[in-house]
Amino acid sequence: MAEVRLPAPVSSGDLILDRRFEWARESFAAGDATAVSDLLGDVLASAPRFAPAWFLLAEARERLGDRDGAIEAFRAALAADEHDRQGAAVRLARLGALPPVAMPTAYIRSLFDGYAPGFEESLVGRLGYRGPDLLIDALSRVGLLTRFPSVLDLGCGTGLAGGAIRPNAKLLTGVDLSPRMLEAARDKGVYDRLVETECMTFLREEAVAGARHDLILAADVFIYFHELMQVPRFAVPVMTGGALIAFSVETHDGDGVILRDTLRYAHGEAHVRHALAQGGMDLVLLDSAPARNEKGEPVPGLVVVARNRS
């Protein structure tokens, strides 16, 4: 199972309990999952609403092979934090205790705020990430890479895709949940506008405002979406007639959507085709193309270009 960087825990409200919790975290990080339960017993007895402690206990139980115990503790973590900052619902979905779920906004924000400082070095340098290049290449191969009046970069992160498309964009807007990611994107100086919000929320607000865009990019963004039907539902209203969307997703051999151990969603090719067709988009290109590596192996992926039918 892939390690997932978690947000820094909030305090239990008791310095002694916080110290025991930190000892438990250190034990878990050192590979001693057995010690976690002993260390957290008093913590949870005294602070039963301390969600990070429940989450850590669930992780320890899962590592020890106690699936039912892990589910119980993840449920307690979820109940103790209405915002689900650590993504307990996603873990429950991966364990089969919940159906595929939308990634909690607070979890994604915390996750990528934590990733931000070394994001590009890790993603590009260590994992060989090439999502933006795949999208630019796809647009070029179908003869649609031109100068776009308005480009929207969904989930822009630190601005990798923005830098790639900037020569072809008269106006470039970036959207991301993570303020620390947006700080890095702002430092690149390639965006005309940066907005801190969730992608579908942004599209809904753009539609109300009457804004229209000629190209939407989403490089490895929809791997955090449990289904793709919402993409055309919110994207088409902000697209000019014949506008394009180019995106990359992880995929698998089946037709539907699965949640990988990496806590990223993989979308089957049939699911992608169905979502676009039903949402009023015409498929222009769909190719197999891994956007990153994992443990030295390419992660199966798709690169997609579609056009607004209206």
User: Which distant-in-sequence residues (6+ apart) come within 8 Å of 9 by Cβ?
Assistant: 21, 25, 52, 53
- Among 126-130, 187-191, 216-220, 281-285, the minimum mean pLDDT is found in 126-130
- pTM above threshold 0.85: yes
- Out of 2.60.40.1080, 3.40.50.150, 3.30.460.10, 3.30.1490.20, select the CATH number for domain 117-308: 3.40.50.150
Compute the average pLDDT of residues 269-275: 97
CATH architecture type of domain 15-99: Alpha Horseshoe (1.25)
| Domain positions in the chain | 15-99, 117-308
Backbone φ, ψ for residue 37 (5° rounding): -60, -45
How far is residue 74's CA from residue 131's CA, in Å, rounded to a whole number? 32
Burial pattern 76-98, b for ≥16 Cβ within 10 A else e, equals bbbebbeebbbbbbbbbbbbebb
Does residue 270 carry a pLDDT above 70? Answer: yes
Q: How confident is the model over 41-79, as pLDDT tens digits?
A: 889 999 999 999 999 999 999 999 999 999 999 999 999
**Averaged pLDDT for residues 133-137:** 97
pLDDT band at 9 (very low <50, low <70, confident <90, very high): low
**Predicted pLDDT at 118:** 86
